Structure formats: C-alpha cells, structure tokens
Amino acid sequence: MPKAGIIYNDVKPIASSVAIELKDKLTSAGWDVYVTASISGILGYSQPDSPVVHTPIEGLTPPGFDSEMKFAVVLGGDGTVLAASRLVAPCGIPMLTVNTGHMGFLTETYLNLLPEAIEQAMAGEYEIEDRAMLTVKVLRRDEVIWEALCLNEMVLHREPLTCMCHFEIVVGKHSPVDIAADGIIVSTPTGSTAYSLSAGGPVITPGVPVLQLVPICPHSLASRALVFPDNEPVNIYPVNIPRLVMVVDGNGGCYILTEDRICLERSPYSARFIRLQSPEFFRVLREKLGWGLPHIAKPNSVELP
C-alpha cells in the first residue's frame, strides 16, 4: 500500500478542512495516509529564564513519516512550508506545496487546482527540485546547545532595541572579518528572495551552490553582501554584547551569549519540492515579486528629421 503524508497549518480553518477531505480521498484510493500539523516543525523561542529550547534535527520527524512515504502534501503559506521542510527533509520526502496563504513564494499550486495536482502526484507525473538547506548549531564551550535545519536564513541581532553590534565572522579557512551592523543574515539561495533581499542582498537562483552573508544596516560603506561557496562553513562570534537573539527561518531561535559560537554548514539534507511542470524560477520572480515586468508606459518613438 503506497503511503502519503499531509502537513497542514491548523491555525487556518481552510487548511484544516482540506486536510480532512484530502485524507479521505487518498484513503479511498488505497493510500496509507499520515496527518500532522505544521506546528510540530516550528522550533519555538527561548525565554530569558530558559535561553535554550533544544530539539535534535532528526527528532522533529512526525510518527509515520519515513523514507517509504511517496510524498507529503503541505497545506499553508510560506511559513508552513518552512516548518514542513524541517519535518520531512531528514527522510527525503518530496513535498507538494499548496498555497492557502498570501504570498506563497515557496508553494507549487493553489487550492482550486488541488484535485488535478493530487492526481499527478499519485501517478508520479512530476519532477523533484532539491533546495539546499543549512545546519545551524549554537555551541557553548564546544557543546551543541541548540540546532536546527534552515531553508531560508539565519538572522542574528539584538533585542529589544536596535543598536550597533559587532560580529567576528570566519568563512571557511579565510581570515576573520569584523562587521559592525544592526545584525547579520546568512541565507541560502532559496532565502535570497526573503529577508536578505529586503536588506539589499542579491537574488540567487536556487541551483547555485553558494551562501550569502548580508549585514543589516552596516556602519561602513565597505560592509556589503558577500556570496561564497556553500562547502565552506561559517562561524560567527558575538563581540562585546551581553546577549543577542538568533532567529532561524522566522519561526524559531534562541539567545546567544558572548561565550557562544554559531556554526552554519550546508546540511546533508535537502528540501525536496514536487514540481508539476518544469521549474522556472524567473516566472516565479515575475509573478510574486514583479521582477522583469515590462514598463507600463514607454516613451513614444520620435522620428528624427
């Protein structure tokens, strides 16, 4: 009996109701179906009196989700997709992402097209696009106290008030660099269209094997976005700040103390997206962000005498 999964945003009534209907449909078609809410992939935030919330990367996978699962349907917006990727990436399960949110930059299809999309998925008529992920670890005296998979970006900043912070950053075996800024972002190509884009970083197409480092409001004209190979680890050391906050993919994080070290490496796990048609990244940029659209008004051509 083939096996499928459903991951849904239980905060959204439409996603919850569609999850029930979809389970019935797949079950009646002879599939073994496992259902879980995306909340299990949200890491949560630590508190000042409990600075670390630590769940091992492989410990987030829900019961019944394993490498035998043909695909998992993800019902929600981009935040749901980010959470779902943590749940299924260690098992290599492809995700059919269905937009029930707003932007839906990471989603493949819409609710009104779900019946046709499910038929394609059940028949195996799709391509799989692998997206690189990061392994983010916080070490205190060389002991891992927090870790997570990251599809978009890791952000390090100060709270509750924004002010200048100093970071010592080591990329691979290169010499350390010092950056003074409100914060820093380390993103994957997938995350290049998220926070790092708003902070002035470049858009990177998903298949390029690189990472990027983007300072947030740097205090120097020389501190700009840096793109480097993703086979080089990144180590970040906070300097002269009592406490910082690290946020991964916008839905989980922990406090960073001066004795801590943040280590980022390309993960051995990838987020696997089902594509019902050949992936076309520029089309998504046009539809979601308006990139490369022709100007509405063009000057009339003037004939020279």
Radius of gyration of the chain (CA): 21
As a residue count, the chain comes to 305
Catalytic annotation, pick one of 24, 32, 49, 78: 78
Q: Which residue has the tokens 């659209």?
A: 293
Sign of CA dihedral 191, 223, 161, 149: positive
Instruction: Please confirm, yes or no, whether 10 is among the known catalytic residues.
Output: no
Measured in whole angstroms, the distance separating CA 221 from the mean position of its chain's CA atoms is 29
CA atoms within 13 A on the CB side of 194: 24
The answer to the question of whether 300 is labelled as a binding residue is no
- Count other Cβ atoms within 10 Å, centred on residue 112: 7
**DSSP string of 231-265?**
TS-EEEEEES-SEEEEEETTSEEEEEETTEEEEEE
- Name the percent of the chain in helix, strand, coil, to the closest 5: 20, 40, 40
- List residues with catalytic annotation: 78
Residue list, annotated binding site for NAD(+): 78-79, 152-153, 182, 193-198, 251
